[in-house]
Amino acid sequence: MSETASDRSTIDALREDFRARIAAASTDAAVKTLADEFLSRKSGSVTGLMKTLGTLPPDARREFGALVNALKQEIETSVDERRQALAAARPPADAVDVTLPPRTRAVGHVHPLMLVRQQVEDIFTHMGYEILEGPEVEDDFHNFEALNMPPDHPARDMQDTLYLGSPIVGGTWGAHRGSVPDAQVRAATLLRTHTSAMQIRYMKTFPPPVRIIVPGRVYRRDNLDLTHTPMFQQFEGLVVGEGVTMANLKGTFKAMLTALFGDVKIRLRPSFFPYTEPSAEVDMSCHKCAGAGCAICKQTGWLEILGSGMVHPAVFEAVGYDPDAVTGFAFGIGIERLAMLKYGVEDIRLFYENDVRFLEQFS
């Protein structure tokens, strides 16, 4: 009997040991190791007890056998339950792992040229200008002739023009606010070399006063280098009315450049454009060195910004305005040039290569 009692306590000890450890088994492998430790055919501790049954007298064998069997069944049931519980807690194969770092979304950026264009448009909108665009494919009349450049005029050589293989007849020109039908149906023969062509289109369509800004692409037969691209962008400005003077022109540039670059000085240098008289090249004091001289302004303290002048009477005559009744000023600015100065970009080609590493630096 004492033997049975001690075996009984062996069974109790095994059960307690098993119960404590199955609860802590947190993986399939741990459960299997534990199950083997108790039940494996060769070395399981419960299997070992089974093997001793044959040595007991029949009564004790029956009684003890029932106890060992009960333990064995408890272990088997617990092992099954533990396995099922682990399986239920395991995420499905296609589950989202919420602990992974998130995939960042690729956010688009406004192109630096568009940023500058928007700023300039804002500045002039606040000054009461109308913003409108025009056709990129132009005819000779609007791009040259009406701008005081007759067919044999040497000033046409100032810009190398890209002509079309076959001319296009007809078309309309769009505007931000509405679109105006092309009054004169002429064959378009070239890609406009400057936005100045829109001075003519606008004045032929609308009477004075005029206060417009025309942003847009222009084309020239230039090879790509640090400062040239065959397509680039400009702003044309045109103001016409009674008593418009060169002082208005100067004040306008001062306001625009100060808004774009901070507190800069401006100066006008005599220049030549066939469609303005007098003509002026406008410089601003270098915004990097405040005029002291640096690499950006090539030690001069000044940066060339735009071409401008008082509208030539011949231009007014070409569009049917009375040169004795109105005066005006006009100007053209390169948008790339402004963006290069503003953002310190040294190679104009970067604007058109669309390398995301470049573009994402502007926001």
Residue number, 196 or 233, with CB nearest to ligand DAH: 196
Q: Write the Ramachandran bin of 107: left for phi over 0, alpha for psi from -120 to 50, otherwise beta.
A: beta
Please tell me the distance from the alpha carbon of residue 279 to that of residue 270, in angstroms, as a whole number: 6
Residue number, 252 or 276, with CB nearest to ligand DAH: 276
* Residues 336/113, Cβ–Cβ less than 8 Å: yes
Least separation in angstroms between residue 110's CB and ligand DAH is: 25
Within its chain, how far is the Cα of 67 from the centroid? 76
Q: Which residues pair with 130 in a beta bridge?
A: 212
DSSP result, 187-224: EEEEE-SSTTHHHHHHHHHSPSPEEEEEEEEEE-----
Return residues touching ligand DAH (CB under 6 A): 194, 196, 236, 273, 276, 307-309, 330-332
Residue number, 331 or 351, with CB nearest to ligand DAH: 331
Least separation in angstroms between residue 140's CB and ligand DAH is: 15
Letter for the amino acid at 246? M
Least separation in angstroms between residue 294's CB and ligand DAH is: 26
Least separation in angstroms between residue 334's CB and ligand DAH is: 8
Of 124, 129, 127, 156, whose CA–CA distance to 141 is shortest?
156
Least separation in angstroms between residue 331's CB and ligand DAH is: 5
Residue number, 39 or 198, with CB nearest to ligand DAH: 198
Residue number, 76 or 145, with CB nearest to ligand DAH: 145
Least separation in angstroms between residue 279's CB and ligand DAH is: 6
Residue number, 22 or 306, with CB nearest to ligand DAH: 306
Least separation in angstroms between residue 307's CB and ligand DAH is: 3
Least separation in angstroms between residue 159's CB and ligand DAH is: 7
Residues 6+ apart with CB under 8 A from 237: 124, 129, 212, 213, 214, 252, 308, 329, 330, 331, 332, 333
Please tell me the distance from the alpha carbon of residue 196 to that of residue 212, in angstroms, as a whole number: 11
Residue number, 272 or 362, with CB nearest to ligand DAH: 272
Residues 6+ apart with CB under 8 A from 70: none
Q: Which residue is nearest to ligand DAH (CB)?
A: 332
Backbone φ and ψ for 82, nearest 5 degrees, come out as -65, -40
Residue number, 49 or 244, with CB nearest to ligand DAH: 244
Of 275, 264, 184, whose CA–CA distance to 237 is shortest?
275
